[in-house]
Structure 1
């Protein structure tokens, strides 16, 4: 009995000793909210509105502040100037990713670009994607797919417009985005296949939910059993196995010499060809191919549909801008302003420092998680005049772009790990919006006013509009 009590006491004390040892060795950390032993600030954070909460903390503790997430140190950056320091000037130090359970498991241990550790494998995969998938030539090559699918969407809307019925634009644009990406990546669409469509969208929804889920083991390793009790490990395993089966089916179909050819030279074909030619500096495996397909399916579908919905939400709430846009104001200004106010990922994908460094006079230890609160930066009233107002014309008066050079506007990130699919995403968004606004005049459903259109967001890595956007279309032709 004495031995059992001694072991129990040791199990309680040992983590505390580790905690206080780790967090008593770094001096001059950025200020931050006071936390509790072991859990740190975890109990103070609301995952569903984290970007808003961190923005409020920045008003108290400044544009760079620290958080203690269990046994892990984190800093939060909420100014363009410091974002430039961590993403560009010290880009090599902050180019790694924290190893989080669900992200690693669902992306084949980071065998892709978004969550892969910073190193040779990531560099090679990024090079493959930049030169063979997201090049201007390849983006242009896939333009026919985008045009065909957008034309189909316009036809569907026209049918609704003829009887003035309400249109669920959120559902329509998510469907369109996933169809475009599936045709570009896999050479087929799942939107008209009944059971397959349901299976596909169910998998995609669960995948996105798990990426945003909180796992205790990521921050307090010895308490990881809580995740198993909550059933999270089982959910991750099921989702991974089903998606792996899905991707393997795609690969097997494209390796079959007798298959019926649809869209030629889609992304899976490009990757399989590179694997066969063995021209990469790494051993390109099927896990790498599946990992890149994960990035394409999840990241591209989410950002395109979310941005399109937020743009139309902003326009319907701002009739003045809608009218000017339909009189041929530059659409890119509207897209920039949407990405400024309603960026799909308010917190950029977290990074992790690879060594000790100094930021803004503060000591930042190695293995510190970095959160860049792009939402706070892009609504900073010191940078943006009337920062809460949707005013696209502001971009007619300056040359600020979202290409990673202007750190007051970073919806796609910046530095080494800027989103490589930026050009493909923007090409789809521009085409979708141009057609929707050219072909139809948009009105609110009967009895609603613009103040009734909410801007609440769903929880997740990508922030979708919480409540579907219903509008009424009237043909402008």
Structure 2
């Protein structure tokens, strides 16, 4: 009796194993959290929305509960849509919920494996996180207040003279704050080519990572063997990384040289140069540490302030109440300072409500990943699964915030906690909002962001009235509060507004304070800090 050659047996065995693997791929194991029905091989990939994903993720939460699962080809995504689930898993069990899934497009190609945002949990990530914490903690953040005060004064001056460009002025404000805090130099004009490249590059980064091609390549590694001409997304990612790395490396090496020359202004890079000597990480890694901070500080603060401007336009009663509080506490003879914060509770409420009502990281940014099998509420959360903080669904939970799409700062009238203290509150139901993330991946710049937002909001309302612009027929243009840009970080779609000074005296004070600040703090030719 003849027997089959070993080579044929081997091929048949491989085919049988491959078919068995494919037959299970895309299926949801019964012990997983529930979720929408799947298709063979692709699972739920075909159901992933290309626009307004937050609405679909909220709908699934309403249908399948506060913890549900999505099967994305070979990968699993666990979606947490309640404050209790986020507190228990991402906070209390952070030791096993602080990693990232492998992201071939986002981390390997777009970032050269260097981006802190997407780096997997391990010794390198822990070392970098510790360094960032040491340089951005609550004590260090207070040393940056003079920078925030100066940039705020220029923003008010710019709003006074070219109010129609208010989005540009907000973006310059947040970017200049960030470049000064991180690198020691400021962006004095919005048209700065480096600022343009930053915002354009990060938009492209977000677009690439939200394409169906990126999801397929991440979920099915064999597709990576295809040549670049069949995968234009991969070629685009490589080019984006090349341009981005050149920008970030130029920023870092200039700061490093200035430190060696003794000319670097007080900033994050001063400490990072010392950390590099101690820890021995490369210039490439250092430039992506600072670049990540530059992205985060520039985009999220400006997007939140833009959302605040929309809220003031659409809710004039809130604006009037906030201005009345400012007038009572501060008056018209000076502008608000950080010393006024504890007496401006309604303004603090405006800040917290903006972060809840218009969350910039609308789906929690990049999902966490669990490093070992775990169980929650009787469900298995498998090792390697992505775990998403469904920020929109939690912030819009009517049990937490009745009439959640109404902008109401009085939700926080008895909340005197800072953003960080609220985030670590052991009672999840008392947390103000979930926009800054959770666990060990929580935003390290919260203390700086809180001051930037408070100063921005309080001073804009002290100085200006914000009203709807009008069309050619004289009718007010009222933007749709639920139309957002797409990406990791979102904001309202662009809208016009009428911004006018509240009085001639306040306009004069804005002029005077900016002129004095320039004389005292800035080189008249370079517009950079004198000290």
Quickly name the TM-score band, shorter chain normalised.
0.7 to 0.9
User: Is the Cα–Cα contact under 8 Å of residues 198 and 295 in structure 2 kept in the other structure?
Assistant: no
Matches of 1:380 and 1:306, distance apart in 2 = 22
TM-score when scaled to structure 1? Answer: 0.88
Matches of 2:385 and 2:157, distance apart in 1 = 51
| 1:76-117, Cα deviation, whole Å (9 max, x unpaired) | 1111112222112322221111111233133441453x2221
- 2:465 aligned with 1:441, yes or no? yes
| 1:288-319, Cα deviation, whole Å (9 max, x unpaired) | 21121122111111110011111111121111
- 2:487 aligned with 1:460, yes or no? yes
**How far is 1:206 from its partner?**
2.6
Matches of 2:453 and 2:447, distance apart in 1 = 10
**How far is 1:73 from its partner?**
1.4
1:219-298 matches, cutoff 5 A: 219-224=219-224, 225=226, 229-256=230-257, 264-276=265-277, 278=278, 280=279, 283-298=280-295
1:78-477 matches, cutoff 5 A: 78-105=81-108, 106-110=110-114, 112=116, 114-131=117-134, 133-160=135-162, 167-190=164-187, 192=189, 195-214=193-212, 215=214, 216-224=216-224, 225=226, 229-256=230-257, 264-276=265-277, 278=278, 280=279, 283-328=280-325, 329-330=344-345, 331-348=347-364, 349-398=366-415, 402-403=419-420, 404-406=423-425, 407-408=428-429, 409-446=433-470, 447-449=474-476, 451-476=478-503, 477=506
Matches of 1:259 and 1:94, distance apart in 2 = 39
Matches of 1:13 and 1:431, distance apart in 2 = 65
Partner residue of 2:60? 57
Matches of 2:252 and 2:15, distance apart in 1 = 49
Partner residue of 2:526? none
5+ long unaligned stretches in structure 1:
1-5, 161-165
Matches of 1:25 and 1:384, distance apart in 2 = 33
5+ long unaligned stretches in structure 2:
1-8, 326-343, 507-531
**How far is 1:36 from its partner?**
1.0
Matches of 2:304 and 2:259, distance apart in 1 = 39
SS of the equivalent of 1:385 reads coil
**How far is 1:203 from its partner?**
3.1
Partner residue of 1:41? 44
Matches of 1:445 and 1:10, distance apart in 2 = 70
Change (3 A) 1:440 1:60: same
- 2:31 aligned with 1:28, yes or no? yes
**How far is 1:343 from its partner?**
0.9
Q: Greater CA radius of gyration, 1 or 2?
A: 2
User: Is the Cα–Cα contact under 8 Å of residues 188 and 262 in structure 1 kept in the other structure?
Assistant: no
**How far is 1:74 from its partner?**
1.5
User: Is the Cα–Cα contact under 8 Å of residues 145 and 184 in structure 1 kept in the other structure?
Assistant: yes
TM-score when scaled to structure 2? Answer: 0.80
User: Is the Cα–Cα contact under 8 Å of residues 108 and 291 in structure 1 kept in the other structure?
Assistant: no
**How far is 1:360 from its partner?**
1.3
| 1:251-301, Cα deviation, whole Å (9 max, x unpaired) | 33234369987661322232123223x2x4xx3222321121122111111
Deviation larger for 374-383 or 242-251: 242-251
Matches of 1:12 and 1:299, distance apart in 2 = 47
**How far is 1:140 from its partner?**
1.9
Change (3 A) 1:448 1:313: farther
**How far is 1:467 from its partner?**
2.1
Tell me the number of residue pairs that the alignment of Structure 1 and Structure 2 aligns.
462
Change (3 A) 1:405 1:257: closer
| 1:208-265, Cα deviation, whole Å (9 max, x unpaired) | 4334444021112223449863411122111111121122222332343699876613
Change (3 A) 1:341 1:198: closer
Matches of 2:176 and 2:256, distance apart in 1 = 22
RMSD: 2.9
Matches of 1:451 and 1:251, distance apart in 2 = 43
User: Is the Cα–Cα contact under 8 Å of residues 51 and 346 in structure 1 kept in the other structure?
Assistant: yes
User: Is the Cα–Cα contact under 8 Å of residues 156 and 460 in structure 2 kept in the other structure?
Assistant: yes
**How far is 1:177 from its partner?**
1.2
Change (3 A) 1:119 1:260: closer
Deviation larger for 50-59 or 253-262: 253-262
Deviation larger for 98-107 or 385-394: 98-107
Change (3 A) 1:60 1:200: closer
